[in-house]
Structure formats: structure tokens, C-alpha cells
Structure 1
Amino acid sequence: MGPRPGAGAGDDEDAEPDYRFTLANERTFLAWIRTALALIAGAVAVLHLLPLDWRPGLNLAVGTGLAALAIVITVYAPWRWMRVQRAMRRGQSLPVSVLPAITTVGVALVSILVLFGNYWP
């Protein structure tokens, strides 16, 4: 959506985006928050609820990794939401997000710990 009619190229006025795009942006934000909550639930389960027969320190490493990833997502998600909202209001291209890459790498590293952690010397 472009700038409001009558807004000059140098104006910093924001145009109200179509409400459907605003709601879609909000749903994306909430999906990231749900992802962070799921990671926290996994961290609590690994650290406090499941009687895992893992080598010493592995459950701490996995639980801490899950919690750290949840913190990164929780901090980054509202910042991403605001950047996307601002771009829509200004009629700019949407900013690229590194959050999917961060989440993918984080989950992959935790998965490697879970799969191979008991076999390392």
C-alpha cells in the first residue's frame, strides 16, 4: 500500500495500511510468541519434569539452549512486528527477518545435543 494521496516524497507521514495486513502481521507476531512458549515448556520439561537418564550436564545444556532460544525469539518478535508495521505504513518493502534462520539453527543445535550428547566422551 502506497503513501496517502497528497503526501509528498519527503513527507514522513504514515498511511494506515489495510487492516487485513495489520492483522496478519499481528498473527505472525503471536505465532512467534507461541513458538517461544513451546520452547520454554520444553526447557521446563527437560530441566525439571522428565526423569532423563542422560549423561551429567546434558539436560542442563539442552534446557538452557531451549530457554535461550525462547528469550531470543521473545525479544526479537516485537521488534520485527514494529519494523513490518512501520514499513507497511510507509509503503516500503517489508524488511527481511533473521528470526527464521536463528530459530532453525537453534533448534538444529539442540537436536544435535539430544541425538548425540550421550555418545560424546
Structure 2
Amino acid sequence: MADSPETRPDERFTLASERTFLAWMRTSLGLLAGGIAVVHLVPDFSTGWVRTTLGLVLIVMAASASMVGLRRWLQVRKALETGAPMPEAKDLWIFAVGIGAIAVLAAVVTVLGIK
């Protein structure tokens, strides 16, 4: 039985996993807000196509953050319940590099003043 005290994961680990999942959701909402803001609220930022591209990339990253967070949470939950090893951090690396690339792109556009 999966819910017996001997096999049930410690609540602290389960709650920590849920907090991490919620952090992914906050990140997703922040990226979504940033994408919408770049497209609609910052008309003086570069050209229209640069604003639109940067905004859409942020919005796509927001969608992927929610999916990566959900997938990761399900993997960790399964690992906690079954005693399996924790999932690899491959998705996290890809996501971190993606956000870093967006930040570099925005910095280059800002510094060079591409119009």
C-alpha cells in the first residue's frame, strides 16, 4: 500500500517539491508578464520586429517554464514515492541557457540601440 507510514514520503520533501513547483509557476507568470510588457508597454524599445520577437520568445519561455515545472514536479513526486533516484537536471540546464540567451539578446539590443 503506497499510503502506509512506512512507504509514504516525508511530508517535508513533498512540501519542498510543491514549493519548487510553485516557483516554476511564478517564473512562468513573470516571463509572460515580461513578454506582454515588451510587446505592448515599451514602444520606444528598438524596432517593432525586435520587440515582437523578444516578446514572443519570452511568452514561449513562459509556456515552457510551466510545462518543465509540471514535468519536473511529477518526476520528483514519483521518485519520492517509489524511492527511485531523483531526475536529471538536463531540462534545467536547457532552460537556464535559454533565459541567459534572451538576457544577452536584450542587453545587446539595448546597448547597441538597434532601431
TM bucket (normalised to shorter chain) is 0.7 to 0.9
Gaps of 5+ in 1: 7-14
1:58 maps to 2:50: yes
Q: CA deviation at 1:117?
A: 3.1
**TM-score by structure 2 length?**
0.83
Kindly indicate which of the two structures has a greater share of residues assigned to helix: 2
What code does the residue aligned with 2:9 have? P
Contact 1:73 1:99 (C-alpha < 8 Å) held by counterparts: no
Distance across 2 between alignment mates of 1:32 and 1:117: 27
**TM-score by structure 1 length?**
0.79
What code does the residue aligned with 1:85 have? R
Deviates more, 1:95-104 or 1:36-45: 95-104
Gaps of 5+ in 2: none
Residues 1:78 and 1:91: Cα distance change in structure 2 (over 3 Å): same
Q: What is residue 103 of structure 1 aligned with on the other side?
A: 95
**Structure with max Cα Rg:** 1
Contact 2:45 2:51 (C-alpha < 8 Å) held by counterparts: no
Q: CA deviation at 1:31?
A: 0.4
